[in-house]
Copies of this chain bind each other. A is one copy, B any other.
């Protein structure tokens, strides 16, 4: 049985998945502070700390279970070049995917194997090819479109996403990287299939339909 294609992101209440990059913020201090607020629900979780090797302890409970379930359902991921380029500098050697990851890029490069089971594959022939390869690698588990926002929206507009979950964070950016600016609103319809508040955020899951 084939798995689903999904994404899961933290989103500000005003629809942004990243703050605005500003010229008056060359060291990205403001950007980082805002981004931390967006992701704040994740950092104290036991699963998050374990997966990034931040050490023992951390909060358990429903938010932690949701983070763990998102990880465990994922048999392979797809990401854009920009997310990979940022992550390549930021992830620890044991990158936090522990599965195959298919990077949509024009760069030709051999697979890059990391300790802990993450293998990055560089796909040069488009988003559908990357998804096909991820589906094959995932087996009966799900494929996660990991990001960034532009890549996620390409998959949504192509009708290739089955469902997604937004962790709606109690923060307003005003400007930034909008997840859905450019969505094909005449074609994409949503159905709320699950909605689950935890202490800091609300996790809402939508099925994506074609009008």
Contacts and interface: CB of A to CB of B under 8 A. Distances in A.
Interface of A: 13-15, 34, 166, 168, 170-175, 178-185, 188-192, 195-197, 200-202, 204, 206
Q: Kindly report how many copies of this chain are found in the complex they form together.
A: 2
B192 A170 contact: yes
A172 B185 contact: yes
A5 to B, nearest CB: 18
B172 A190 contact: yes
Interface centre among A15, A171, A184, A201 (most CB of B within 10 A): A15
Main secondary structure of the interface of A (DSSP, over half): loop
Nearest to A192: B170
A155 to B, nearest CB: 14
Contacts of A168: 168, 204
Contacts of A174: 180-185
A32 to B, nearest CB: 14
A13 B206 contact: yes
Nearest to A184: B174
Contact of A197 (B172, B173, B196): B196
Shortest 3 CB-CB distances between A and B: which pairs? Answer: A195-B197, A15-B15, A14-B180
B190 A200 contact: no
Contact of A15 (B14, B34, B188, B196): B14
Nearest to A186: B30
Contacts of A173: 185
